[in-house]
Amino acid sequence: MRTRDELGFTTLAIRTGHHRTPEGEHGEPIFTTSSYVFTSAREAAARFAGDESGNIYSRFTNPTVTAFEERLAVMEGGECCVATASGMSAILILCMGLLKAGDRILSSRSIFGSTTILFNKYLSRFGIETSYVPLADLDAWEEAIGPDTRLLFLETPSNPLTEMVDIRALADLAHSRGCLLVVDNCFCTPALQRPLALGADLVMHSATKYLDGQGRCVGGAVVGDRKLVGEEIFGVLRTAGPAMSPFNAWVFLKGLETLELRMLAHSCNAQVLAGWLREQPGVIEVHYPGLDSHPQHRLVGDQQRTGGGIVAFEVRGGREAAWRVIDSTRLLSITANLGDTKTTLTHPATTTHGRLTDEERKSAGIGEGLIRIAVGLEDIEDIEADLARGLATL
Ligand SMILES: Cc1ncc(COP(=O)(O)O)c(C=O)c1O
Tell me the CA distances in angstroms from 307 to 127, 275, 320, one per residue in order.
38, 12, 29
Cα(106)–Cα(76) distance, integer angstroms: 23
Ligand 1: centre distance to CA 263 (Å) = 17
- The residue among 259, 211, 250, 214 whose CA lies nearest residue 65 is 250
Per DSSP, 119 falls in state: I
pTM tops 0.75, yes or no? yes
Best of 84, 88, 337 to mutate for ligand 1, by most ligand atoms within 8 A of CB? 88
Instruction: State pLDDT tens for residues 286-310.
Output: 999 999 999 999 999 999 999 999 9
Per-residue pLDDT of the chain (394 residues; tens, 9 = 90+): 444 568 999 999 999 999 999 999 999 999 999 999 999 999 999 999 999 999 999 999 999 999 999 999 999 999 999 999 999 999 999 999 999 999 999 999 988 889 999 999 999 999 999 999 999 999 999 999 999 999 999 999 998 999 999 999 999 999 999 999 999 999 999 999 999 999 999 999 999 999 999 999 999 999 999 999 999 999 999 999 999 999 999 999 999 999 999 999 999 999 999 999 999 999 999 999 999 999 999 999 999 999 999 999 999 999 999 999 999 999 999 998 999 999 999 999 999 888 888 888 888 789 999 999 999 999 999 999 999 999 999 9
Find out whether 268 and 235 touch, Cβ atoms under 8 Å.
Answer: no
Q: Whose CA is nearest to atom 7 of ligand 1?
A: 87
Cα(141)–Cα(134) distance, integer angstroms: 8
Q: Which atom of ligand 1 is nearest to the CA of 337?
A: 14
Query: Helix, strand or coil for residue 338?
Result: coil
pLDDT in the model for residue 1: 40
Residue 100 neighbours by CB distance under 10 Å: 10
Handedness of CA 57, 59, 61, 62 (dihedral sign): positive
Helices 246-257 and 63-76: crossing angle in degrees, nearest 10, is 30
pLDDT in the model for residue 3: 45
Q: Which atom of ligand 1 is nearest to the CA of 155?
A: 1
Element (H, E) at 227: none
Ligand 1 contact, 155 CB (< 6 A): yes
* Residues pairing with 211 in the sheet: none
pLDDT in the model for residue 359: 87
Ligand 1: centre distance to CA 235 (Å) = 22
Cα(281)–Cα(278) distance, integer angstroms: 8
Q: Is 17 exposed, middle or buried (0-12, 13-18, 19+ CB in 10 A)?
A: buried
Best of 119, 153, 209 to mutate for ligand 1, by most ligand atoms within 8 A of CB? 209
* Residues pairing with 208 in the sheet: none
Ligand 1 contact, 112 CB (< 6 A): yes
Best of 122, 203, 208 to mutate for ligand 1, by most ligand atoms within 8 A of CB? 208
Ligand 1: centre distance to CA 95 (Å) = 16
β-pair type (80-84, 220-224): antiparallel
Instruction: State pLDDT tens for residues 374-385.
Output: 999 999 999 999
Q: Whose CA is nearest to atom 9 of ligand 1?
A: 87
Ligand 1: centre distance to CA 3 (Å) = 35
Cα(375)–Cα(23) distance, integer angstroms: 41
Find out whether 201 and 328 touch, Cβ atoms under 8 Å.
Answer: no
Element (H, E) at 191: helix 189-192
Q: In what order do the strands lie in the sheet with 129-133?
A: 80-84, 220-224, 202-206, 180-184, 149-155, 104-108, 129-133
Per DSSP, 118 falls in state: I
Amino acid at site 100: K
pLDDT in the model for residue 46: 97
